[in-house]
Amino acid sequence: MGDDILSYNGGVALAMKGKECIAIACDKRYGVQNRTIATNFTKIFQYSDHCFVAFCGLATDVQTVSERLKFRTNLYELREQRKLKPNVLYNMLTNLLYERRFGPYFVFALVVGLDPKTGETFVYDSDNIGAISDNVNLVTVGTASEYIFGLGELFFKPNMNADELFEATSQALLNGVDRDSASGWGAVVYVIEKDKITVRELKGRQD
Amino acid sequence: MARRYDTRATIFSPEGRLYQVEYALEAISHAGASLGILAENGVVLAGEKRNIHDDLCCSVSGITSDANVLINELRMIGQRYLLTYQEPAPIEYIVSRLCNIKQAYTQFGGKRPFGVSFLYMGWDKHYGYQLYQSDPSGNYGGWKATCVGHNSQTAISILKQEYKIGETQLNDALRLAIRVFSKTLDTTKLTPEKIEIAVLQHDDKTNETTIRMLKDDELITLIKQYEDEQSKLEADRQKQQQTTTSSSTVEKEKK
């Protein structure tokens, strides 16, 4: 813990790519250093029919950045008369973060999405000043990100279907957070497919 | 008319009038008509529609480029409220804020007023269904039924006679809208291509507002209903005339 702003509140999120489906998951802990305050603080937000973003880091910035991003996406949809695509949402977010390059928000982000017509999958991550990544298979952010990366790489297989993807994502998250005192207290997993989105709440070790 | 005073938008004339505002209203009276009718279970808006947010939509009459600037501002006002308070902006709040901006152009800056009038239809949890009108002067008012633009005076007099306060349901409002349009549009026959009607309804159970445009087949049905009513009225009137003429001829013979 100590003085590190990015681990002041704790929390973790992960996203994985499958065959025409995506899974994004986060823990539910809201804490202040070693005190747990709430266990219903989810870090995943929906911006369009098939676009989701997860923010991890300082809790106040998780809330503020998600709300300010919503401001911009609402105006986009009103002016353009169409829904956002994942890559556009990603660019909007990284632009928002870079605007504060010299007084930044303390959140790292994951942006995921699916094109419902083509089934093309998008999984990106960003640091807190808007560094862009490629469209990759696996991304994690948060205080337990390294632990979850290791497990994620282990469980990941290319072209998994929705059920396999759910299992891989859930196991990576649940076991990874057990190694981190600042994350855990339950998890939420979204599995996004072309025709439906399934949300599941997981109960892990409640500590 | 004291034309010397027209060159500056932001000063009064000797008679206490703001000519530039009046000229703006004149510009709007040449524009395409917009009509709004409040019903017990929804709101009807006819004309060129623009969405402001999930629960508010407006129709534009006047200079379109001026309107685009104001529509953008309306959307920003809605979003700023949502960002600060994390709940949808009340309808009157948005209308009122925009009207303050419009009023500024009649008092400072030396710029001309916006040549647009808006009709706003919306729903919020404070006052339910609402209909507002705003004009270049920055004045706004809540209405049960109103019209702006070309032939609006004719439309308003029809609305005054036909609108029933407290008893108008959405289908009554739609029928009334068609009736008004057929009397005020410059064409002989009303077709779906000539009108654009939007309906706003709020579902209390799901707490969702839907704003939808009437499709061509729905418009055709409404127009046909109106035409059938009209031809029935015409047939009744003709029958009445026949009976009165025949009775007068009988009387003449008696004499």
Tell me: pLDDT of A170 over 70. Answer: yes
Disruptive mutation site among B52, B83, B87 for chain A (greatest number of A CBs within 10 Å): B83
- Cβ-defined contact of A75 to B76 (cutoff 8 Å): yes
Across A84-93, B101-110, B131-140, least confident range: B101-110
List the domain boundaries for chain B: 18-233
Residue B2: per-residue pLDDT: 53
The pair of three-digit structure tokens given for residue B207, joined into one six-digit string: 């707490």
In a domain, A207, yes or no: no
Tell me: pLDDT of B5 over 60. Answer: no
Residue A143: per-residue pLDDT: 96
Q: Which residues of B touch A74 (CB under 8 A)?
A: 53, 79, 82
Chain B: residue whose CA lies nearest to A80: B51
Residue B47: left if φ>0, alpha if ψ -120 to 50, beta else—which one? left
Disruptive mutation site among B56, B79, B85, B87 for chain A (greatest number of A CBs within 10 Å): B79
Q: Are strands B56-62 and B116-124 parallel, antiparallel or unpaired?
A: antiparallel
Beta strands in B47-196 (DSSP E): 48-53, 56-62, 116-124, 128-134, 140-142, 145-148
SS3 call for A106: coil
The answer to whether A79 faces chain B, any CB pair under 8 Å, is yes
Judge if pTM exceeds 0.80. Answer: yes
- Cβ-defined contact of B51 to A78 (cutoff 8 Å): yes
CATH of the domain at A35: 3.60.20.10
Which pLDDT band holds residue B109 (cuts at 50, 70, 90)? Answer: confident
Q: Which residue from A68, A70, A75 is facing B75, i.e. has the nearest CB?
A: A75
The answer to whether B76 faces chain A, any CB pair under 8 Å, is yes
User: Helices A145-155 and A162-177 sit at what angle, rounded to 10 degrees?
Assistant: 150
Tell me: pLDDT of A6 over 60. Answer: yes
Residues in chain B: 255
Chain B: residue whose CA lies nearest to A73: B79
Q: Please state the rounded mean pLDDT for residues B82-90.
A: 96
CA dihedral in degrees (B88, B91, B94, B96; nearest 10)?
A: -150
Give me the number of domains chain A comprises. Answer: 1
Residue B255: per-residue pLDDT: 56
What is the per-residue DSSP string for A23-64? EEEEE--EEETTEEEES----EEEEETTEEEEEEE-HHHHHH
Which pLDDT band holds residue A68 (cuts at 50, 70, 90)? Answer: very high
Distance of CA B232 to the CA centre of its chain: 28
In a domain, A121, yes or no: yes
- Cβ-defined contact of B82 to A78 (cutoff 8 Å): no
Residue B9: per-residue pLDDT: 66
Which pLDDT band holds residue B115 (cuts at 50, 70, 90)? Answer: very high
The pair of three-digit structure tokens given for residue A107, joined into one six-digit string: 């959140």
CA dihedral in degrees (B135, A71, A41, A20; nearest 10)?
A: 120
In a domain, A117, yes or no: yes
Angle A24-A25-A28 from CA coordinates, rounded to 5° = 150
Q: How far is A93 from chain B (nearest CA, A)?
A: 16
Average pLDDT, chain A: 96
Q: Which residues of A touch B83 (CB under 8 A)?
A: 67-68, 70-71
Q: A201 vs A42, A52, A166, A174, CA distance in Å?
A: 11, 17, 12, 11
Which helix (H) or strand (E) is B43 found in, with range? strand B42-46
Residue A95: per-residue pLDDT: 97
Whole-number Å distance between alpha carbons of B118 and B132 = 8
Q: Which residue from B51, B52, B83 is facing A71, i.e. has the nearest CB?
A: B83
In a domain, A82, yes or no: yes
**Which stretches within A59-197 are classed as H helix?**
59-80, 86-98, 145-155, 162-177
Chain B: residue whose CA lies nearest to A76: B75
Residue B4: per-residue pLDDT: 64
Whole-number Å distance between alpha carbons of B161 and A90 = 55
Q: For B136-185, how does the pLDDT look when each residue is reduced to its tens digit (9 = 90+)? A: 999 999 999 999 999 999 999 999 999 999 999 999 999 999 999 888 88
For residue A107, the enclosing domain spans: 5-202
Q: Which residues of B touch A80 (CB under 8 A)?
A: none
Query: Do A173 and A139 touch, CB atoms closer than 8 A?
Result: no
Query: Do A85 and A93 touch, CB atoms closer than 8 A?
Result: no
Q: For A8-59, how does the pLDDT look when each residue is reduced to its tens digit (9 = 90+)? A: 999 999 999 999 999 999 999 999 999 999 999 999 999 999 999 999 999 9
Residue B254: per-residue pLDDT: 61
Tell me: pLDDT of B214 over 80. Answer: yes
- Cβ-defined contact of A74 to B53 (cutoff 8 Å): yes
Q: For A126-165, how does the pLDDT look when each residue is reduced to its tens digit (9 = 90+)? A: 999 999 999 999 999 999 999 999 999 999 999 999 999 9
Chain A: residue whose CA lies nearest to B86: A67
Q: For A73-122, how does the pLDDT look when each residue is reduced to its tens digit (9 = 90+)? A: 999 999 999 999 999 999 999 999 999 999 999 999 999 999 999 999 99
Q: How far is A71 from chain B (nearest CA, A)?
A: 6
Residue A93: per-residue pLDDT: 98
Which pLDDT band holds residue B248 (cuts at 50, 70, 90)? Answer: low
The pair of three-digit structure tokens given for residue A157, joined into one six-digit string: 């297989």
Tell me: pLDDT of B6 over 70. Answer: no
Percentage above 90 pLDDT, chain A: 98
Chain A: residue whose CA lies nearest to B81: A71
Give B18-233's CATH code, choosing from 2.40.50.140, 3.40.605.10, 1.10.150.170, 3.60.20.10: 3.60.20.10
Which pLDDT band holds residue B194 (cuts at 50, 70, 90)? Answer: confident
Query: Do A15 and A168 touch, CB atoms closer than 8 A?
Result: no
Tell me: pLDDT of B189 over 70. Answer: yes
The answer to whether B235 faces chain A, any CB pair under 8 Å, is no
In a domain, A195, yes or no: yes
Q: For B221-247, how does the pLDDT look when each residue is reduced to its tens digit (9 = 90+)? A: 999 999 999 899 999 999 998 887 766
Q: How far is A75 from chain B (nearest CA, A)?
A: 7
The answer to whether A74 faces chain B, any CB pair under 8 Å, is yes
Which pLDDT band holds residue B251 (cuts at 50, 70, 90)? Answer: low
Average pLDDT, chain B: 91
